[in-house]
């Protein structure tokens, strides 16, 4: 009996122990789940000098219990040690706050989601076979362009290494393998490929969208197409008999066709791009040995973060400080003022313009009127001469129907008809899918007033074309007034020699610079409308999952397409002038940029039809016919950028986050306007009345073939109420004197309540009879905070 009681007691004790253990496990699991739900991804900037000598590398230090303060080792995602010093990790906010107090941690910021800014253009830029910059740079041979984007589809002809020499010996990169991407796909053209997804995975673990493994590759292979397009635009090889289903037929080639390409996949289809992965891409690209970095990525929330909290600004500074040129897209939120993105002065920020090629389509109305539009639809056209009923669902179906949003159209209303859809809220091509699924026979996509007359071609899934705001209004008025409105769409193919061109694309990001208005952004514009370049096999030309078509090339528009034109141009200039700094290369492009179109008239703004200003085009449109020999350049180095950051009022820690090295600002704060930039932006107090004056200082370096040269200043002012004086008005250079400084005194009269918004502009041009070195001058009046 005693034995039975003893066994019973032991059994009860065991059951109690198991119950308590199970409860504890459940508590731990619940706590872990709650903790996981609260975790976020953070990027930590660390003072590299603080590493104890006992640790062989910073990675060992960050992973140690010593760095973690005796707690659990940190779940590191990326370790950065080239353009940035520190790491990223997924942590509970409390632990992140605790680490922020670590004596070696200089700054902490949350991971943010970014978005992509999504043949004939080289000739349009002034490049000619066997003469000029192409010939003198050997087409960019041996320059390595790193493309931070969605990866690459390496089988395209644009990435052939035929007749290319060995990979430059300085290259330290690799061809990372993964699903659908064996190492054999890299060659003497595509010299490297890497993929960075830890930031995506970490954010997905705490509730983010994550990477869809059914449509995306966990390798450098491009499932989106954007990266393949931008890489081939910058440096694609010659591809004969290229076209997009017959449109833009000809020879496709990149701006620097013999440059090498390294693809860094930091963005994923449907999932965007996270700062932690972008920064890892920058870090690795510079360590690998690229000469140029192309980044067609921008802010995803419309808010410009200070430079010390912006990983694109931080990563690009680290690259530029090591001699790597970085170009970036200006964003697609124009024509609204202050819409330009990627604002740091060490970045070259590129807006978009048209080229002299278009893809016209015509809407023929039942009353005989013809409305001009554009389209790159390549399927079966509407029956010749057949007039179909045309309907505007927004008249009765409300906003979602007017925008042709998913499930918004009544099949009874649109069956067999041409449907008018308003632009906005959803991708243009997705509206066509909605119309097709509802039984519509065709679509006319009408711009709103914000888009104006700006048109881009799309590879629609049904007969469709885009029309401008005025044509859209006329079309809707016809539908409202006619008893039985009818229409048809006629597709006109490819037309070359269009005038005027370039025209500033209405979507291109515009100034002024919302973060530091003393720096004019964008810097310049380049071809970004209806650009033909290589495409992925993973998705059709619309980029929609439902589009099963395959095409070797695609036609896209956006500042994403403009950016790689400047990246390729930088590769050519780097090849022709290996000793030039990134700032000198940018200066050469900006001071030789064109302000006139192919009619020899001032470049116009697509959104207004009037003359473009420096807030729209920066210094002008890229013109490589002149950039190789600019005469003078405005150069910049690390100390210049530090002085600029001091001028913004940044403290030593904030500056060190960007520049790596501790900075000491002078007692008297420098003037931000005095950064030795190729453009000049002068900011006055918008509340002050009467005349206001400021003097800015610049230094130019003679890089012309003649050591002895004399340059004279010429000032042109647009509008009234602005005077500009230059001292000295003449600069003399000799073999012993290659640099000269000058002052520009800008005086503005009146106040900021004028009809022009208180903004004026002009141009300063230095000329020696051969070279013309032009800088825009922008004057703005800003209300003080």
Tell me the HSE value of 363 on the side-chain side, using a 13 A CA sphere. 30
What angle, rounded to 10 degrees, do the helices at 582-591 and 559-576 form?
A: 110
Q: Which one from 78, 117, 200, 226 is the annotated catalytic residue?
A: 226
Could you confirm whether 560 is annotated as catalytic? yes
Strands 348-353 and 524-527, sheet pairing: parallel
Q: Cβ–Cβ contacts within 10 Å for residue 767, how many?
A: 15
Contact criterion met (CB below 8 Å) for 62 and 76 = yes
Cα–Cα distance for residue pair 92/110, rounded to 1 Å = 12
Name the residue with tokens 């200089």: 106
End-to-end CA, the chain = 89
Is residue 350 classed as helix, strand or coil in its secondary structure?
strand
Q: What is the separation of C-alpha 494 from the centre of its chain, rounded to a whole number of angstroms?
A: 27
781 beta partners: 684
Nearest to 703 by CA among 771, 765, 631: 631
Could you confirm whether 756 is annotated as catalytic? no
Contact criterion met (CB below 8 Å) for 122 and 97 = no
Name the residue with tokens 């780097």: 574
Contact criterion met (CB below 8 Å) for 466 and 421 = no
3-class SS letters over 628-646: CCCCEECCCCHHHHHHHHH
Contact criterion met (CB below 8 Å) for 356 and 499 = yes
Checking 176-185 for CB contacts under 8 A at 24+ apart, the result is 176/219, 176/220, 177/219, 178/217, 178/218, 178/219, 178/220, 178/221, 179/217, 179/218, 179/219, 179/221, 180/217, 180/219, 180/221, 181/154, 181/217, 181/219, 181/220, 181/221, 185/154, 185/155
Quote the DSSP letter at residue 334.
Answer: T
Determine if residue 454 is left, alpha or beta; phi over 0 gives left, psi from -120 to 50 gives alpha, anything else beta: beta
Cα–Cα distance for residue pair 124/532, rounded to 1 Å = 13
Cα–Cα distance for residue pair 331/117, rounded to 1 Å = 6
What are the residue ranges of helices labelled H in 628-752? 638-647, 652-659
Cα–Cα distance for residue pair 465/455, rounded to 1 Å = 10
Quote the DSSP letter at residue 181.
Answer: B
Could you confirm whether 356 is annotated as catalytic? no
Query: Token pair for residue 199?
Result: 């930031």
Nearest to 39 by CA among 140, 101, 106, 110: 110
Cα–Cα distance for residue pair 301/609, rounded to 1 Å = 29
Q: Which one from 121, 560, 679, 780 is the annotated catalytic residue?
A: 560
Query: Token pair for residue 375?
Result: 């389209």
Cα–Cα distance for residue pair 119/104, rounded to 1 Å = 51
- Give backbone dihedrals phi and psi of 662, rounded to 5 degrees, phi first: -60, 145
3-class SS letters over 233-288: HHHCCCEEEEEECCEEEEEECCCCCCCEEEEEECEECCCEEEHHHHHHHHHHHHHH
- Give backbone dihedrals phi and psi of 761, rounded to 5 degrees, phi first: -155, 165
Contact criterion met (CB below 8 Å) for 290 and 270 = no
Cα–Cα distance for residue pair 148/143, rounded to 1 Å = 16
Query: Token pair for residue 400?
Result: 């979602």
Q: Which one from 47, 111, 149, 629 is the annotated catalytic residue?
A: 149
Determine if residue 426 is left, alpha or beta; phi over 0 gives left, psi from -120 to 50 gives alpha, anything else beta: beta
Cα–Cα distance for residue pair 37/662, rounded to 1 Å = 37
* Residues marked as catalytic: 149, 226, 560
């Amino acid at each position: 009996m005693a034995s039975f009681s003893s066994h019973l007691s032991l059994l009860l004790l065991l059951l109690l122990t198991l119950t308590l253990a199970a409860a504890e496990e459940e508590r731990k699991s619940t706590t872990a789940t709650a903790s996981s739900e609260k975790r976020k991804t953070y990027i930590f900037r660390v003072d590299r000098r603080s590493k104890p000598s006992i640790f062989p590398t910073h990675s060992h230090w960050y992973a140690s219990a010593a760095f973690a303060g005796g707690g659990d080792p940190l779940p590191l995602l990326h370790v950065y040690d080239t353009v940035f010093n520190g790491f990223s990790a997924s942590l509970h906010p409390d632990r992140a706050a605790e680490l922020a107090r670590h004596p070696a941690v200089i700054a902490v910021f949350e991971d943010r989601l970014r978005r992509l800014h999504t043949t004939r253009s080289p000739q349009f830029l002034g490049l000619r076979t066997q003469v000029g910059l192409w010939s003198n740079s050997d087409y960019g041979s041996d320059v390595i362009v790193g493309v931070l984007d969605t990866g690459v589809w390496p089988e395209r002809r644009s990435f052939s290494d035929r007749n290319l020499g060995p990979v430059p010996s300085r290259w330290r990169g690799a061809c990372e393998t993964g699903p659908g991407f064996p190492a054999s796909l890299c060659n003497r053209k595509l010299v490297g490929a890497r993929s960075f997804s830890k930031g995506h995975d970490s954010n997905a673990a705490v509730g983010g969208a994550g990477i869809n493994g059914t449509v995306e590759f966990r390798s450098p292979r491009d499932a989106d197409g954007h990266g393949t397009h931008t890489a081939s635009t910058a440096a694609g090889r010659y591809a004969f008999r290229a076209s997009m289903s017959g449109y833009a037929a000809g020879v496709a080639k990149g701006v620097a066709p013999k440059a090498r390409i390294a693809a860094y996949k930091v963005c994923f289809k449907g999932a965007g791009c996270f700062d932690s992965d972008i920064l890892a891409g920058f870090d690795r690209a510079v360590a690998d040995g690229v000469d140029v970095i192309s980044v067609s990525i921008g802010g995803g929330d419309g808010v410009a973060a200070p430079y010390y909290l912006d990983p694109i600004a931080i990563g690009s500074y680290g690259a530029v400080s090591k001699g790597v040129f970085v170009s970036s897209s200006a964003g697609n939120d124009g024509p609204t003022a202050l819409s330009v993105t990627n604002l740091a002065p060490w970045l070259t920020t590129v807006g978009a313009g048209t080229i002299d090629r278009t893809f016209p389509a015509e809407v023929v109305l039942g009353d005989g009127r013809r409305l001009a539009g554009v389209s790159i639809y390549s399927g079966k056209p509407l029956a010749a001469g057949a007039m179909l009923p045309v309907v505007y669902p927004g008249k009765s179906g409300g906003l979602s129907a007017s925008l042709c949003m998913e499930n918004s159209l009544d099949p009874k209303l649109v069956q067999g008809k041409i449907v008018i859809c308003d632009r906005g809220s959803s991708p243009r091509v997705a509206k066509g899918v909605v119309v097709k699924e509802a039984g519509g026979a065709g679509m006319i996509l009408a711009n709103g007033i914000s888009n104006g007359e700006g048109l881009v071609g799309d590879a629609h899934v049904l007969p469709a074309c885009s029309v401008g705001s005025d044509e859209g209004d006329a079309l809707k008025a016809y539908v409202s007034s006619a008893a039985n409105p009818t229409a048809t769409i006629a597709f006109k193919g490819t037309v070359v020699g269009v005038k005027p061109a370039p025209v500033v694309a209405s979507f291109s990001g515009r100034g002024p610079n919302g973060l530091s208005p003393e720096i004019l952004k964008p810097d310049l514009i380049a071809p970004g409308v209806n650009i033909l370049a290589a495409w992925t096999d993973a998705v059709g030309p619309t980029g929609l999952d439902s589009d099963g078509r395959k095409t070797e090339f695609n036609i896209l528009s956006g500042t994403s397409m403009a950016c790689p034109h400047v990246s390729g141009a930088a590769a050519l200039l780097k090849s022709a002038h290996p000793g030039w700094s990134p700032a000198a290369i940018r200066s050469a492009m900006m001071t030789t940029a064109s302000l006139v179109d192919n009619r020899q008239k001032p470049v116009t703004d697509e959104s207004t039809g009037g003359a473009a200003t420096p807030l729209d085009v920066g210094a002008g449109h890229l013109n490589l016919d002149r950039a190789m020999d600019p005469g003078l350049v405005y150069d910049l180095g690390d100390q210049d950028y530090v002085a600029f950051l001091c001028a913004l009022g940044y403290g030593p820690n904030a500056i060190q986050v960007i520049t790596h090295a501790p900075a000491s600002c002078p007692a008297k704060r420098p003037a931000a306007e005095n950064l030795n930039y190729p453009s000049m932006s002068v900011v006055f107090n918008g509340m002050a009345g009467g005349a206001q004056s400021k003097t800015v200082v610049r230094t130019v370096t003679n890089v012309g073939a003649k050591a002895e040269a004399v340059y004279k200043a010429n000032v042109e002012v647009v509008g009234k109420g602005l005077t500009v004086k230059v001292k000295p008005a003449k600069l003399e250079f000799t073999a012993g004197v290659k640099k000269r400084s000058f002052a520009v005194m800008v005086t503005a009269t009146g106040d900021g309540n004028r009809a022009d918004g208180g903004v004026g502009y002009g141009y300063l041009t230095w000329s020696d009879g051969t070279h013309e070195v032009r800088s825009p001058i922008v004057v703005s009046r800003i209300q003080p905070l």
